[in-house]
Chains A and B, each alone.
Chain A
């Protein structure tokens, strides 16, 4: 039993409208695999019947969207970005924020939080004494945000890329799961945010990780998101994309700099930003971006 063309069209339309995620023809198997468990739970005979239900039931639509998003993530994913974080980004920002002694980081599309907590571990180890840091973890999925707040991970998730020394240092057992300690939790704040629509008011970020999410959007949406990230990043800040993502031909507001195996993106003109500059205002960003 496979999903009908019209059901698939409805679902891909819904996903595109609500999250900007693309489910192109050929992804029928994926939609079906993800919706079938929900269909069964809702007592529908098959996915097509469930899609009919979606057309009238908003709560069920929210559930379906949650199931359709891809939440794949891991600790220190791809490693190289995190090396660049400790070796390049953190020292550079620390050298330039003597006046505030505060670092502000955004984990955009944070999924279950491994990215945000990986960064918090590095901050715990490398941030100079007397400094503070805040990581804002955002996602479109409320379910994922709840997971970030709980900070609890299954055995299988723990095994994915987390060094054993960090496991014993930052986690304790909580039933069949492991829970991240309060020190790290204090650094991480969550907020619901849909990348494909205009952003709510946000602080200015020194470092933005926006990884493995742009791949799901079409070119115009990608461009628009990168432009809007440019408005909330400090002019001497850093942006990290996923290993298969790049700003190439996307947006000329960003420069690329190679560090080891990763491309680090920086607002154009970052080299001219004086050190110890006061916190930039939105106007000053618009000026450097011009």
Chain B
């Protein structure tokens, strides 16, 4: 499979910090895949994401995005290919209204106003925010602001979408809607998605999961392999899903639940069956 991003021996150290935030990290991202990156707080996930977009001036290692090696000379070209969504919905909303915010990236690229108007409109429609085009950010929910951020990215048509804990400040429903939207955009726009997350459902959407700890890549696996770890998921920096918490509680009472990963519905089914057997 073709690689859209190649990272080789990447290291980064903030200022005079003793410990490197990233320590000799190497991995590839395949074109069109959904890659999840998990790890504890402070393990270096955001540092890694920013490095990919040339937002941090790493000194060791190389990052190649779509055939372009990241350097001060290529950084703006690389940013054409990457759209990033950050954790806090408020701190990335630049425009005064939804429309203005979606237009922000286009204005930076000096797109003419005639071209901007249809592109802004289409992007807002794509994320289902057409009824809110004139709204100010203070009248939107966190989930709606993240949708607007996605529209801003759709408008500039990058090939890679990086989500840095983009759903972590949303309520469960907002989180669910956001993931659905990302899945839809990924299909429509043929995006490669890199999602950094603590959310088990978001990680479950991925084709592949990378586990990062203390600035180092410690594991690479499929969701099924990772979720088979059960309670040890917490050690990887994932929030234990409800079903896993339930299993732990059952074990404590001497009831032996199945060990493989189960969805809510499967768990419910199993519970019904074992309850009616007794």
Q: Do A and B come from one complex?
A: no
A contacts, CB < 8 Å to B: none
